[in-house]
Amino acid sequence: MPPQRGPRPRGRRPQRAPQPIPEAAPAVAVAEPTTSVVTLPKTIQVGDLARALDASVVDVIRGLVNIGLMVSINETVDFETASLVANELGIETRPEEEAVPVADEEALTPEAIGGKEILWEDVDPAKLKERPPVVTVLGHVDHGKTSLLDAIRSTNVTSREAGGITQHIGAYQIEHNGRKVTFLDTPGHEAFTAMRARGAQVTDVAVLVVAADDGVQPQTIEAISHAKAAKVPIVVALNKMDRPDANPDQVKAQLAEHGVTIEDYGGDTPLVPVSAKTKEGIADLVEVVLLVADVNDLKADPDRPAIGRVIEAHLDKGRGPVATILVQTGTLERGDLVVAGTTFGKVRAMVDDKGKNIGRAEPSRPVEILGLPEVPEAGDVIRAVADEKAARALAAQNARERAASTAAEKPATLDEMFAQVKEGKAKELKIVLKADVQGSLEAIKTALGKIPQNEVTLAVIHDAVGDITESDLTLAAASGAVVVGFNTKMEAPARRVADSTKVDVRLYKVIYELLDDVQKALTGMLEPEMVESTLGHAEVLQLFTAGKTTIAGSRVVDGLVRRGAQARVLRGGTAVYDGKIGTLRRMKDDVREVTTGLECGIVLENSNDVQVADIIECYVVQPKPR
Ligand code: GDP
């Protein structure tokens, strides 16, 4: 057993004399002035790599292109790749593991950051006390999520508070029969899952709002999948019961079809008929939420330094950085020194959801805090620490972890599953499945169910008809799932999420190929996915003929052009040829490559169809790097 600390001696914390504190370690890499060796982490963003090497981003990207990788400034490369580029620039590298520990690291002893019990694992069960549940409201658009949040809030303001101004700070707390419940004020599964993707699971109960006159709709199904993937218990709020066309029985049956079996139907999901308009059933809903919370035995230790999560944060013109935080365990006090992500400062003031200045915030209590020098990110962990040295060290560690985790925590791809299955590591392949029509969706699900599953099991965590949406991507990112589409497209916002999260999205037009890939991933036999990377572009300036051959006199406008590489001819935005670069000449000589700014003669393999002002795009197709 670790030594236990009693309640923190409030107000008598030993004050340290201000002392010079060594600069916190840079987040990413340390270029050492004494030698030309640069220490690099396991993975690094291209932009950070350029900074670490003291080179221009263009040079680094060019170096990457030279080794056949087409990546952008925000993408991440591994140590080996970064080293190759560094070596090309005449810089030696070594992996971060061998780096000399930074002096400040010793400040991270458990005592320094507030006692050993700061770790969740070291919680003393005897000190745990009941805490209010934290609730998120999910459901289809226009089914009444916002109205319900407003109704719950207004039904539960005491007369004393009623005159006060309610503040929308991202979350609020109500009291019902002497018990508190916290509601997150940003409804919808997008926000819910975005937080989860950052490792911040703050929700204890999901209230699924379904309009009784409209029934289960696409976002209802999404919300169900998101709540289930997060393993959060669901309470159904059957809203708009005041409407004459409310049809509860139909909704109950629809819910059962989508895996939510309510208590009436022999399941374990409670359903409460409500009307956000007439306030009918609101008290019952809160009552049921509390019952579900009781079953889940929600506890925290209020007598310890606070740990919580940043719910939202912004820069206020007058007040500076403002962060709404949810205390998860411990008690936060005005004057506490806190670290939130990579920033730290003293809590100068705390304001609750009623606009009241408060001095203490207990577990599950949402508060706005002032005093941080920078705006932290939603989802950041916030914790109270003993002194400035510990704060500095923890913030620096968070910065290092953030830099290193960019790629390390990226979700599974089919290729990685394959690798993990081979090593016997993978246990479950999670899939978000989208298809064009219900018929093919059902057919695929049935066929997937028939794939033999031995060591690795297959879990379709969400399936629906339609294009691949942003919500599908965030769900996959938060759950480590692969998105599989059959005869569907990816919406533009989804593509952006796919790019930034590196979620593996696989689109198929032939069911057999889809099933084959999944089966291979499950058995560790997947062929690596082939991806195209652009090497560069050349503009055709002039045409020459030699016998029957047309030579395109061109200038390389970016990247490079390589003999034997794939090439397509773009004319007015359309590709009129897709083949290979047959011959590549500079002056009279055959050459292998020609780089940006230089002129050359290009002969396409088996084609003379080239015109002045055409763009020749040169590319390679190679296995996707793991
Ligand atoms: P959200 O998109 O899920 O947040 O839905 P809103 O709360 O914005 O509500 C959508 C519409 O439904 C609004 O016009 C509300 O006034 C209406 N509405 C919400 N709850 C009820 C209800 O219980 N009864 C009726 N009749 N209308 C409601």
Encode pLDDT of 106-150 as tens digits.
333 333 333 322 344 445 678 888 999 999 999 999 999 999 999
Quote the pLDDT of residue 17: 37
User: In the numeric block, which tokens belong to residue 170?
Assistant: 């991202």
CATH class of 414-527: alpha beta
* 189 Cβ neighbours under 8 A, 6+ residues apart: 138, 219, 222, 223, 226, 227, 471, 475
* DSSP H stretches of helix in 338-434: 388-408, 414-422
Residue 45 Cβ contacting ligand 1 at under 6 Å: no
Neighbouring CB atoms inside 10 A of 613's CB total: 9
Quote the pLDDT of residue 420: 64
Q: Which residues pair with 580 in a beta bridge?
A: 566
Residue 219 Cβ contacting ligand 1 at under 6 Å: no
For strands 615-623 and 574-586, give the pairing: unpaired
Point out the least confidently predicted range of 6-10, 94-98, 135-139, 212-216. Answer: 6-10
Residue 242 Cβ contacting ligand 1 at under 6 Å: yes
Name which of 214, 155, 235, 222 is nearest 188 in CA terms: 222
% of residues, the chain, pLDDT over 90: 38
Quote the pLDDT of residue 300: 87
DSSP state of 401: H
Homologous superfamily of domain range 307-406 = Translation factors (2.40.30.10)
User: In the numeric block, which tokens belong to residue 85?
Assistant: 């580029």
Distance of CA 194 from the midpoint of ligand 1 (Å): 24
Does the domain at 531-623 match CATH 2.40.30.10? Answer given as yes
User: In the numeric block, which tokens belong to residue 129?
Assistant: 């006390």
Range among 10-19, 285-294, 509-518 with highest mean pLDDT value: 285-294
Quote the pLDDT of residue 76: 81
Point out the least confidently predicted range of 307-316, 455-464, 605-614. Answer: 455-464
Quote the pLDDT of residue 159: 44
The residue extents of the domains of the chain are 33-95, 132-297, 307-406, 414-527, 531-623
Length of the chain measured in residues: 626
Report, as an integer, the average pLDDT of 517-539: 78
Report, as an integer, the average pLDDT of 42-55: 85
Quote the pLDDT of residue 476: 85
Task: Assess contact for 431 and 459: CB atoms under 8 A.
Answer: yes
Per-residue confidence band for 27, with pLDDT thresholds at 50, 70 and 90: very low
Quote the pLDDT of residue 621: 83
Residue 141 Cβ contacting ligand 1 at under 6 Å: yes
> Which ligand 1 atom is nearest residue 187's CA?
4
Pocket test for ligand 1, best of 147, 208, 251 (most atoms within 8 A of CB): 147
Quote the pLDDT of residue 580: 93
Note whether 307-406 and 414-527 share their fold: no
Quote the pLDDT of residue 128: 85
Distance of CA 285 from the midpoint of ligand 1 (Å): 17
Task: Assess contact for 241 and 210: CB atoms under 8 A.
Answer: no
Quote the pLDDT of residue 473: 87
Query: Cα-flanking dihedrals φ and ψ of residue 320, to 5°?
Result: 80, -160
Rg (CA), the chain: 29
Point out the least confidently predicted range of 367-381, 409-423, 448-462, 540-554. Answer: 409-423
DSSP state of 331: B
270 alpha-carbon distance from chain centroid: 30
> Which ligand 1 atom is nearest residue 150's CA?
7
Query: Average pLDDT over the chain, rounded to whole?
Result: 81
* 438 Cβ neighbours under 8 A, 6+ residues apart: 465
Task: Assess contact for 479 and 442: CB atoms under 8 A.
Answer: no
* 3 Cβ neighbours under 8 A, 6+ residues apart: 116
Look at ligand 1, atom 17, and give the residue with the nearest C-alpha.
Answer: 144
Per-residue confidence band for 532, with pLDDT thresholds at 50, 70 and 90: confident
Look at ligand 1, atom 18, and give the residue with the nearest C-alpha.
Answer: 144
For the entire predicted model, the pTM comes to 0.60
Q: What share of the chain is helix, strand, coil (3-state, %, to 5)?
A: 30, 30, 40
Task: Assess contact for 544 and 583: CB atoms under 8 A.
Answer: no
Structure-model confidence comparison of residues 528 and 575, the more confident one: 575
- Considering the domain 132-297, what is its CATH architecture? 3-Layer(aba) Sandwich (3.40)
Residue 142 Cβ contacting ligand 1 at under 6 Å: yes
Angle (nearest 5°) at CA 175 between 171 and 180: 70
The burial class, CB within 10 Å (0-12 / 13-18 / 19+), for 148 is: buried
Per-residue confidence band for 204, with pLDDT thresholds at 50, 70 and 90: very high
DSSP state of 548: T
Quote the pLDDT of residue 458: 86
Report, as an integer, the average pLDDT of 385-414: 71
Per-residue confidence band for 40, with pLDDT thresholds at 50, 70 and 90: confident
Quote the pLDDT of residue 77: 83
Structure-model confidence comparison of residues 346 and 495, the more confident one: 346
Structure-model confidence comparison of residues 18 and 342, the more confident one: 342
